[in-house]
Structure 1
Amino acid sequence: MDAHRLPKGLGWLSVGLGLTELTFAEGICRLLGLKGHAGVVRALGARELVTGLGLLSQPERRPWLWGRVAGDAIDLSVLGTTLNRSTAATSAWRFAATVAVLGITLIDVYAASAPRIRRVSNSGKGDRWEGPLESWRGSGLAEDVGANANGAGAEWDEAKRHQMMQEAQSRLGLPDPENLTPRR
């Protein structure tokens, strides 16, 4: 999955779970054998909602992803308190909820700990780029850092275009695609 779409998807999941926990707290408590703890479920729902809105609205998503992981730990601990309340009617729901939260926790940990793209020096043998190996050229980055914006892009000669790409590459600190060493 795309590294930018996963946090957004988790944000929408958080919003949905939060609204569900806020709206149907008593029913969730009945299914899990937590009668009388609707306030706890609503608090968990509010936390989910805030985390989801943070993932959807903030440019730096990593803290919000770790917030989801912390919330998953809280959810698992609340589910753990229900283990000694074994009734046939609620045990299947508890098992399903625990498996679902464990699965989501794995996805949240994966998303929160995904490595960032960074540049690593390769002791004078060129640069090794830790991240996607596709070329950034042609993506519009040169135009974003000061290339001619008057629409004359199609009329530039190749030498001028290459020079501007080199300047943009230097200003942005991007590696030269021709000198990349693949990751091992």
Structure 2
Amino acid sequence: MDAHRLPKGLGWLSVGLGITELTFAKGICRLLGLRGHAGLVRALGARELVTGIGLLSQPERRPWLLGRVAGDAIDLSVLGATLNRSTTAASAWRFAATVAVLGITLIDVYAASAPRLRRISNPGKGDVREGPMESWRGSGLAEDVGADASGTSAEWDEAKRHQMMQDAQSRLGLPDPESLTPRS
């Protein structure tokens, strides 16, 4: 998934979960066999909502992704503490909720550990886009991945040099600098 879309998707997931936990706290407690803990569910919902809004509105997403991971740890702790309760119908729901939170936790950890994307502002429009701070071309990376470095760049013909740069870009998994355009 696109490194820009995953945090946004997780932000919307957080907003949806937060609103659900705030709105239906008593029903969630009844379903999971946690009667009397609606305040805890609402607190968890408020945390989800704040994290989701942060992911959707802030250009620096890493702290919010780490907040999701920490929130997942709290959710798993609460669910883990309730797994040994005896109500059979609620046990299945608690187990399913725990598995779902574990899956989301893996996605959150993946998103939070993705390579850091830096902010680039467009002074003309004042908007922000994400991507590398500068082009990797001309930085010597092509030579580092096996391009012929015996001659100087002035001796190479431009078509060969361009092809070598594209090959290195592809092997390194780097974005094409020409395709990184500011969002409008």
1:69 aligns with 69
Correspondence 1:93-112 to 2 at 5 A: 93-112=93-112
- Partner of residue 136, structure 1: 177
- Deviations 1:21-79, CA, capped at 9 Å, x for gaps: 00000000011111000000000000000000000000000000000000000000000
Cα RMSD of the aligned pairs, angstroms, is: 2.6
Q: Which runs of 5+ in 2 are unaligned?
A: 118-131, 146-167
CA contact (8 A) 1:116 1:131 kept: no
Deviations 1:89-136 (A, max 9, x none): 1011001100100000000000000013666x7699468879643422
Letter in 2 for 1:60: E
| 1:95 alignment partner AA | F
What's the offset of the Cα at 1:139? 4.9
| TM score, norm. by length of structure 2 | 0.69
% identical equivalent positions: 78
Unpaired runs of at least 5, structure 1: 142-184
Rounded Cα–Cα distance in structure 2 between residues aligned with 1:132 and 1:66: 25
C-alpha distance in 1, partners of 2:106/2:95? 17
Aligned residues between the structures: 141
* TM-score after normalising by structure 1: 0.69
Cα 1:133–1:32 shift into 2, 3 Å: same
Query: How far, CA to CA, are the matches of 2:51 and 2:181 in structure 1?
Result: 33
* Contact 1:14/1:49 (8 A) holds in 2: yes
8 Å contact kept, 2:31–2:93: yes
Matches within 5 A, 1:99-178: 99-116=99-116, 125=143, 132-137=173-178, 139-140=180-181
Structure-1 residue corresponding to 2:11 = 11
